Amino acid sequence: MSTDLSGPLAGHRIIDFTRLIAGPCAGDLLAAMGADVIKVEDVTGDPMRNARSRRVARGLTAPSFAAYNVHKRSVALDLKDPAGHAAALRLCDGADAVLSSFRPGVLERLGLGADVLRARNPRLVVARLSAFGESGPDRDRGGVDIVMQAESGLMAVTGEADGPPVKTGVPIIDAASGYVLALGVVSALLGRERGGHLREVTVSMLDVAVHLQAQPLAEYLDSRQEPERVGNQAPYAAPADVFPAADGALVLSAHLPQHWTRLCELLDRREWIDDPRFHDVGARVANREALSAALAEVLRTRPVGYWLDLFAAAGLTAGRIRTYREVVGDGTSAFVVDARDVDSSPIQVVRPPLRFPGWADDLLPRQIPRTGEHTGEVLGHTTKEAVA
């Protein structure tokens, strides 16, 4: 197989006006596919650069910033200043796409609305991310991950039955919104190449959060019954839960009829197959406490590794509950790549998940840019001249 050094989005320039997590995630994915992503920051920099960490205390960059910005160049501009505004327009004149995560109307007030930008560059794709969408009574509200989890109903169905609503352990709506925004940009670019005329992309974090729950919401729309919080269990399937083993815990999902029968046979509990409490998925859901207790009694007799090997050989789905240390190990995991901080000291980040066999993505530069480091390189003059 020949090796392609350019990447599928090579030759495309993206101007990234976003900050914090969701928008930068989109820009990072596009950069990881070979696009030239230019991060436009305020002269004070993206606030995420200084998120609390041991590295910031040593005068370096926060890992939270590095996570989604190691593949980009940085230009620093004061968008409210005439010179900075003019520089931003020139950047967009030569771009293929613009990313924004300002609240609706902010780009327009800055003189950088889609109409202005596309009048100067008709081929430009303008992609906007907001919390609650471009219209409606909540359009001017800001939103962060936990707010979107709350407003979308996700927290209401997360947690233990006798406990309060709980958010997920990571900012999943932020990241998912970035993925959807990147998908929208790639789709618009593809459409442009095929002669299409759709040049604007709008993504609402609330839309993303709701669509992530499309399957359980479809169940609700059919039954009109509010789902109960069931902890680690699956609301409509059993067994699907966390179970104890001799040396830890594992997750097991064997709710399909053929998987349930196979599990009973593997555990030498064939009598469960015809047990009226467990004979079909509806009965198992109704009697999930008895089912979980019966399974736990068997599974705690052997270590996790034993069960995983046994289940894998039989085609059952199960997994080990791993810590971050176990996932990334000593930093040599396939999930991790090496990068450089602003002072060229080493830092590690998670590798983007897209794989294109034949493309040497390991050759991508992974360097955290200083705020405005590439202003002169990109605009042809110094940062001071650009923002004065």
Active site residue 174: yes
**Backbone phi, psi, residue 349, to 5°:** -135, 170
Q: What tokens does 145 get?
A: 């991950």
Choose the catalytic residue: 36, 174, 241, 341.
174
Per-residue HEC secondary structure of the chain comes to: CCCECCCCCCCCEEEECCCCCHHHHHHHHHHHCCCEEEEEECCCCCHHHHCCCHHHHCCCCCHHHHCCCCCCEEEECCCCCHHHHHHHHHHHHCCCEEEECCCCCHHHHCCCCHHHHHHHCCCCEEEEEECCCCCCCCCCCCCCHHHHHHHCCCHHHCCCCCCCCCCCCCCHHHHHHHHHHHHHHHHHHHHHHCCCCCCEEEEEHHHHHHHCCHHHHHHHHHHCCCCCCCCCCECCECCEEEEEECCEEEEEECCCHHHHHHHHHHCCCCHHHHCCCCCCHHHHHHCHHHHHHHHHHHHCCCCHHHHHHHHHHCCCEEEECCCHHHHHCCCCCCCEEEEECCCCCEEEEECCCCCCCCECHHHCCCECCCCCCCHHHHHCCCHHHHHC
**Backbone phi, psi, residue 126, to 5°:** -110, 115
Alpha-carbon gap, residue 351 to 333, rounded angstroms: 10
Alpha-carbon gap, residue 104 to 124, rounded angstroms: 19
Q: What tokens does 219 get?
A: 């169940």
Q: Which residues have a catalytic role annotated? A: 174
